[in-house]
Structure 1
Amino acid sequence: MKKKNRPTLAEKADIHELYELSVQCSEAEVDFVADTYRELRAKPARLLREDFCGTANVCCEWVKRRKHNHAIGVDLDKSVLHWGKTHNLSRLKDAERKRIELINADVLRVETESPDIVSAMNFSYWLFKDRNTLKKYFERVHHSLKKDGIFFLDFYGGYDSLHEVEEDREIETDQGSFTYIWEQAEFNPISHDLTCYIHFAFEDGSRLDQAFAYHWRLWTLPEIQDLLRETGFEVTVYWQGWDEDGEPDGEFYPATEADADAGWITYITAEKTA
């Protein structure tokens, strides 16, 4: 009798778990939005809305920080929200879980309680490829926020962002290691359409190719700032600092000038002013 082959590490892997291990650092993200809001508003934020929330990892981190914190997560993908409930919300205490509301809806149409903070991270808003639609989204966020609310976004750029490139990084876990692979597969310089993939490779030689696919417009930072100002926000760009070895130090500072590096990641705050 022929022996049944054992499943490969790729076959056993959970892509959402791999994503959280290799891409998302909810602790650092919450540190930045909480500290920056307090600095700008001289009070703590209580209600955070995470747009394009995926597995709601940031929502969970937010409610764990303070007993008065509440979070709303909005995502169009019902299956990923279900994963978040099963794997992330289930780990919370009952009292924490009750302070999260997950909504399966389109961020262009959703109606929620007015939050102190709206967060749109991991370049998720780049899926809006035309100016009118992205402006509509920014207008919706402006309308949703409290009168002194702040919209937080992230952004990446640099001359490497215009190239078709592949980068990999080893991720160590308690169960072993795997390789995270980021591929900028296609870029159209006329439209700035950008197709990117995340692949994962494992110690046994197996792979998960195109575990995640992104079809974005590669916006420029001035374009985003202009659109935010047009929709009633006061905009600040927070640039990342560097350590003694020339590596990013994870600290972000308000900036109006920066070096033309090959690759960079920045945060944007958009304060509601009108």
Structure 2
Amino acid sequence: GQIRALPAFDYYWEQLGYDACTSRIHCRIHFDVIDAEKMNGKRRIANAFEYDWRLWTLPELTEALREAGFRKAQVWRHTASGTPDRPKVFLGPVRKLPDQELWVAYVVGIR
């Protein structure tokens, strides 16, 4: 197959609602792509993806990995705050994840 570069685009994650009793979350992904024919130079692809799922907690996910046979399960945090050797990006295991307005975590299983 042929590999083709994609033009730049913006990605938007929209959280429409969350039910704390059932842990269900409803989200959508939208894209803004370059479009020279539009006045602002961009075209919105609204609702490109839509999700309605149960939001599992980090402890539930790490426990599920251990039950599935992984030797170790870790939570890794991603942030734009940076470190001296990695400006604007930090990715690695954490034991605590303080509440913040926005954060991204990865649950990693090690065999």
Instruction: Classify the TM-score, shorter chain.
Output: 0.5 to 0.7
SS of 1:237 mapped into structure 2: strand
Matching residue of 1:90? 2
Structure 1, unaligned stretches of length 5 or more? 1-88, 93-171
1:210 deviates by 0.8
Matching residue of 1:238? 76
In the alignment, is the contact (CA less than 8 A) between 1:236 and 1:268 conserved in 2? yes
When normalised by structure 1's length, the TM-score is 0.31
Task: List structure 1 runs of 4+ shifted beyond 6 angstroms.
Answer: none
Q: How does 1:67-86 map to 2 (within 5 A)?
A: none
Larger Rg: 1
In the alignment, is the contact (CA less than 8 A) between 2:15 and 2:28 conserved in 1? yes
Matching residue of 1:262? 101
SS of 2:64 mapped into structure 1: helix
Aligned counterpart in structure 2 of residue 189 of structure 1, from 4, 17, 20? 20
Cα separation, 1, equivalents of 2:96 and 2:73: 14
After superposition, the CA RMSD in angstroms is 2.8
If each structure's strand is expressed as a fraction of its own residues, which one has the higher value? 2
SS of 1:91 mapped into structure 2: coil
Matching residue of 2:58? 221
Once the two structures are superposed, residues 224-258 of structure 1 have per-residue CA deviations (whole angstroms, 9 ceiling, x without a partner) of: 011111222211222235237xxx83221222123
Structure 2, unaligned stretches of length 5 or more? none
Percent identical = 32
Matching residue of 1:198? 29
Cα separation, 1, equivalents of 2:18 and 2:96: 26
In the alignment, is the contact (CA less than 8 A) between 2:82 and 2:89 conserved in 1? no
In the alignment, is the contact (CA less than 8 A) between 1:252 and 1:267 conserved in 2? no
